[in-house]
Structure 1
Amino acid sequence: MSFAMSSESLLDLAKSRQPADRERLLLAIADLCDTPHAGEAMKSGAIQVLLSSIFMSLVVEAERDIRHRLSEKLAAADWAPNALINVLALDDIEIARPIIAQSPVLQDSDLMRLLVEATIEHQIEVARRPHISEAVVGAILEQSEPAVLTALAGNHTAELSPKDMQDLVEASRQIAALRTPLSQHPKLTGQLAKRLYLWVGLALRKGLADRFRLDVAVLDAALAASINEAHAGHMASSSSEAVPRMTREGEREVMEQRLIDKLYSAGQLRPGYLVRALREGRLGLFVGALAMLGRFDTGHVQSAIDSDRPELLALACAAVGIDRSVFPDILEMTRQLNDGRPGGGADGARKASVAFAPVAPEVAASAFRQAARSLAA
């Protein structure tokens, strides 16, 4: 069958609303990807109109195995619609993996959105993607997710600057999984190898010493000194431990706010990030991000989640574009992380659904601010 005949058949299938025909249409398009000169043909005006008009609705309704097959077929296609590729990149990880790994359609902004909105598994695939740019690398380093950093350390084609390598080596002091891939990284310098030497095991120390011809005697002396310092710190009185603990807490809050500010400035702070923050157990990050998205007072958001009125949290979520169907999960995760608050039990959760009435986000935001002020009074 010629490609022209195939195109006509596709157009005929596109006119059908039968589920079976719609699935046949997706599979037919996927099969065309394997035909000679498919890319050039797919860029033609008629086919592009066809793709734009049907792809999105078809993919949303398609069975998982069909989406998986389509993902594999389109992973290397430079003609695939941007919206479709981004939908597949956010799908289940097995479907998303080939798209994230090689689709030429994905731009830096798309990859950075995945780092903000998608699961840890998706983020790991972004870090593994060949030749990711310094901008994407910077976003990964900013978020400091250990598993994603480890994937980045193993990606020898990533555009890592000397400062990026320094940050990764410094992070390996706390994240042991980073040490092996960093010790083998082609961009590791002799100076950084000396720092890495202090934190790795015996086998890796030997490899570093051989590769960079390190002065083992000097480094072992430095290692012994650091061990002695650690023991001395451990022997400090328990009364002095409160200050460092408070300092760490303050530093964490500052780092979280910096992350929120950077994401917001880059246009990457979106409602989906709120769910991700809760799933990762970072309640403070959730509060700060919700306040930033809604232009709310952070103290008001904190008061709302500490209250016995879950409808206040619902109003804030409605104001920033959270869907009604997502809110029960947000409420449950917030309660798990906040000692059962906001209270109100099941009745409170039912009342909260009223906040998602069909009103403008500005109305929900105004209602939240007014209620939060009265709560704080």
Structure 2
Amino acid sequence: MAGTLSHDDVDRLLANPSAKSRAATAAKVAAGFDRGELSASERRLAEDILRSLARDAEVSVREALAAHLKGNPDLPRDVAQRLAADVDSVALPLLQFSDVLAEQDLVAIVLEGRRNRQLAIAGRAHVPESVSDALIDNGDETVVARLIDNEGAIIAEPAYERALSIHGRAGSVGDSLARRSDLPASVAARMIAAVAEQLQDYLIRRASLSPDAATDLILQARERALVDLVGTRTIGDEAELERLVDQLSRAGRLSPWLVLRTLCFGDLTFFEASLARLARVSLANARILIHDEGQLGLTSICRRAGLPERLLPAFRTALLVRLETDYDGSGNDRRRFVERMLERLLTVGEDAATLEPADREFLARKLTQMAA
């Protein structure tokens, strides 16, 4: 059978002691093993020779073995483990490509703290959650950035939080987090706050702005970023949405104006979760109250949530517009939606319960800025 192990190969391996000969034989053994064309007896013989070659004193022999077997799913696990514990030139191909290595094998190697090996594991096509946890807790910023850039890595929300806490000030990690397609919204909100604080310090120190002016500018930018985050996020489930709302609330950023502006941009689910959090009722109960056909339910939960009485007409109108209208999917969609929302908000009745002129002006200005 062409390319597979033969008795001549075995005899040559035993007779010729040179490293070059052994490396060539290792490559042939590995190539034949990789094609899966061996009979049962040939496979047993091949596995025995692989084990022998994996202990060969010459690095070139073990390198040839690793290069040819790194992607073989039938490689005996004990051989994969031995090669993965070898010198870098032998180990790294196995660490990055071999599916034979188990999660516990990879975690153990990560815990050894050898950077090159951590980098190889961080770049695997599939990185299990437990391995990602170990890399974030034990790797440096380069390792963590490579892991986060790897869309094949499964990273739990608490691990993202730790990555941000440990390495958040490292530009490479921050950039990787910003690019991550499934970054939890709560982590993105923390990043917005951290960047805003750094930018505020810069504006005060380098741009000759007063602390008050810098603070006002940063608050505007941060709130717009939060509205954008809420409006464009991909929330995997209600639990993640509630975590985001809870985080904003604990940080003191779940303001009535933020809740109103996100609703004005059409985000109904964030509005529901926000009122549930502020009123301290379940999300299911909040939805029943919000969508009550009369005004009693919405008014009651808004008051319980501590929303200013003068803003209740705006919340009612914005909710009504949102339920009647949605984005149409064409160009400048967001701007047209906000224009429709503004038209209704600014032309509600003139009785005492409507928006005060200052509030109308403030809301119109903010929505116009954010829709730009």
TM-score normalised over the length of structure 2: 0.48
Greater RCO between the two (CA within 8 Å, min separation 6)? 1
Q: Structure 1 length normalisation: TM-score?
A: 0.47
